[in-house]
Chain A
Amino acid sequence: MEPIIKVKEVGKKYNIRHFQGGYIALRDVLADIIKSPFRFLKKKVKEVTGIDTKEDFWALRGASFEVKRGEIVGIIGRNGAGKSTLLKILTGITPPTTGEIVMHGRVASLLEVGTGFHPELSGRENIFLNGAILGMKKSEIAKNFDSIVEFAEIETFLDTPVKYYSSGMYVRLAFSVAAHMEPDILLVDEVLAVGDAEFQKKCLGKMEEVTKKQGRTILFVSHNMAAIERICNRCILIEKGQIKKDSADVRSVIKGYIKGSEGTTEGYIWSNPNNGRFENEWWKPLSIYATDTTDKLCDGPIRNDSRVELVIKGELRSIDPALTIGYALYSDDGTLLYWSFQTDGPEKNWPRLEKGPFTIKSEIPRRLLNEGVYRIELIGGLNDRTWLFSPGGNNPNINISIKGGLSDSPYWTRKRPGILAPELPWKNEK
């Protein structure tokens, strides 16, 4: 049988400049031209003639694979490995630089639920609008209208503007519209990160139903290994823009992925690849890692009761009082636990940042996290102005893994369920 998706040698090249700060101001460009016209000219010539390739960066390179009808393919990999780029190319949001993809049948994507919802419009109106944006015909939406409303459980609020909806209702409605699209190929990216556990279960159930009963093909990108293992019958591992593993033995690919980040220092220390992607006019992170009490790098599991400090080294380029540098901590299924910034305490306690190289440290709370692997992502920006490293934006990130040292109690020696495992004080009422 002919494969439903055929990906041939697909690559995507980005220009680094596109990553830096997002956009440019025309006045700056004009000022640059006036100040040093020759440098500008030289740069342009280099760009046009293709001599200057320093600024190029391949997010995805030479990816080839085929997918058969009815397969549910999980795509995993570290942040920035190229998973989302692949999905964006498959949906047509961004064109590939090289290669070709042939897909048979209707393609729909759940890149983010609620795309195109307008807060001023009612639930009813948004169902039609969202459906049309996702590529449904008006007649199809009308046909499925009742079951969309029923699945989303919003009957009584159908004519209320969605700005008055609770976030749960909002997500339910959005997923419901997308779930009724009846595509042949469904592309899903981290939708399950939103919504409560109950709803996530419902979505997973719906996805399973869709494929099993109706023979749909699904490509599913996620950090949630449990979900991948549960619903996928094939798994692709992407590393540094290339396909590393592709097998029907989902468990072994996942294991390989998790193992790949253990044992080596890879994943435990991040240092700037100096390709221009991770720097801006305010500062440039140099390296990020965690150390124990003896200032030794934590490159393996650490005890929950030991002192662990996160170290961020960087180089400050211009001083801005609004500059915030911090990290976001995620559990292994991608759930955000907290954000922390160097400016969280009272102003007099903030670490001082001066031009040039700097090192800031912060202790990771002891006996708060559970056993397992956690991901620390560099975030920060200019307070209330802009993100320089926006959360979830493929930023520098490292892993820490915790094992043992959960408690001193004889009764609590093994891992308990839950994302957190704090040891809390108990006492008699006086």
Chain B
Amino acid sequence: MITTIIKPKKTFSLDDFREIWNYRELLYFFTWRDLKVRYKQTFIGALWAILQPFITMIVFTVFFGKLAQMPSDGVPYPIFVYTGLLFWQFFSSALSETSSVLISNQAIITKVYFPRLILPLSSVLTKFVDFAIASLILVGLMFYYGYMPHITGFLIVPLLLVITFMAAIGGGLCLASINVKYRDVRYALPFFIQILLFLTPVIYPASIAGKYSWVLALNPMTGVIQSARAALLGTTPINWLLLGISFFACLAILMIGIIYFKKVERYFADIL
């Protein structure tokens, strides 16, 4: 027999994790719903997950690689920029999806109880599926250009994904909470993300900033993209310090995100 106790809400505790685990099936269903609906609505379906980064890569290669002669650490520009784009698009699409997830699911939130953290989690998972599909192109490019990643490369990719995941969900939780209260924030977000793209070494190598590259490292995605290139393409040795900074920056963002989200969670069913 299950016993439910309802009390005034406290802030974040370990019970929250247990609760999410209990609701893991719902997490699966939300992810499944989002994937299914998206691939049903867009005519080309799963192909979209590949086409989007692929076409962006071609455009960037033509404009930044060929015309602007952007340096690329001695790696062919297409594969250089695609590695960056792959992680960047996972991060940025997960961030923007998460930030609006409470608004777009308000009908459910105001009617049924479930751990609210499930919603942002599932939107990041949905984007992860896109990432997995899009990474097939990278595999193709690596074969085409004859790159063989080091064994450490394979080992480090999961770590990079974890960092990206934390950054996206941490930032997303903050934005989602702000979004509930201040509905005009979402209009500024696309602009903000676009600016962030240029502050992240996606189209240029991190080395371009010279001795100021540590500033870039505060942006967690810098460490991720830099390390992904180092590990998969062998551009530079892996910069563990940079990666460490990124990791802790992410952890901080994640903590702030969760704490803020839990605080707002107390009343968002009332104001949605």
Contacts and interface: CB of A to CB of B under 8 A. Distances in A.
Interface of A: 14, 18, 22-27, 29, 88-107, 109, 111-112, 115-116, 118, 120-121, 125, 128-129, 132-135, 137-138
A96 B270 CA distance: 12
B40 interface: yes
Contacts of B111: 93, 109, 111-112, 115-116
21 contacts: A18-B271, A23-B181, A23-B271, A91-B112, A92-B6, A92-B113, A93-B111, A102-B5, A103-B3, A103-B4, A112-B111, A116-B108, A116-B112, A118-B33, A120-B36, A121-B37, A132-B26, A132-B28, A133-B29, A135-B112, A138-B25
B37 A120 contact: yes
A120 B41 contact: yes
A105 B33 CA distance: 29
A24 B181 contact: yes
A95 B1 contact: no
A25 B182 contact: yes
Interface centre among A94, A103, A106 (most CB of B within 10 A): A94
Contacts of A102: 3-6
Contacts of A95: 6-9, 266
Given A18-B271, A94-B269, A23 B3 contact: no
B184 interface: yes
A9 B170 CA distance: 37
A112 B112 CA distance: 9
A14 B182 CA distance: 18
Interface string B1-42: 111111111000000000000000110110011001100110
Q: Provide the main secondary structure of the chain B interface.
A: helix
A134 B108 CA distance: 10
A185 B17 CA distance: 25
A92 B37 CA distance: 28
Nearest to A161: B40
A6 to B, nearest CB: 10
B270 A14 contact: yes
B112 to A, nearest CB: 6
A271 to B, nearest CB: 25
A96 B5 CA distance: 11
B230 interface: no
A105 B1 contact: yes
Given A104-B1, A118-B37, A98 B108 contact: no
Interface in B25-63: 25-26, 28-29, 32-33, 36-37, 40-41
Given A109-B112, A115-B111, A133-B112, 17 more contacts: A18-B271, A22-B271, A26-B182, A26-B184, A91-B112, A92-B4, A92-B6, A99-B7, A101-B6, A104-B1, A104-B4, A105-B2, A107-B4, A111-B111, A111-B112, A120-B36, A121-B33
Contacts, number: 119
Given A115-B107, A118-B37, A137-B25, A93 B5 contact: no
Q: Provide the main secondary structure of the chain A interface.
A: mixed
B183 interface: yes
Contacts of B32: 129
B183 A98 contact: no
Interface in B237-272: 266-267, 269-271
A87 B6 CA distance: 12
B145 interface: no
A97 B7 CA distance: 8
A120 B40 contact: yes
B157 interface: no
Interface in B194-212: none
Across the A-B interface, give the 3 residue pairs with the lowest CB-CB distance, nearest first: A92-B113, A26-B182, A95-B9
B147 interface: no
Contacts of A132: 25-26, 28-29
A102 B28 CA distance: 29
Nearest to B26: A132
B110 interface: yes
B87 to A, nearest CB: 30
Contacts of B108: 115-116, 133
B114 interface: yes
B185 interface: yes
B20 to A, nearest CB: 14
A23 B107 CA distance: 16
B5 to A, nearest CB: 5
A391 B137 CA distance: 52
Interface string B81-121: 00000000000000000000000000111111110000000
A94 B110 CA distance: 8
A96 B6 contact: yes
Given A96-B6, A103-B3, A18 B267 contact: yes
B2 A106 contact: yes
Given A100-B5, A118-B33, A125-B36, A93 B269 contact: yes
A128 B178 CA distance: 32
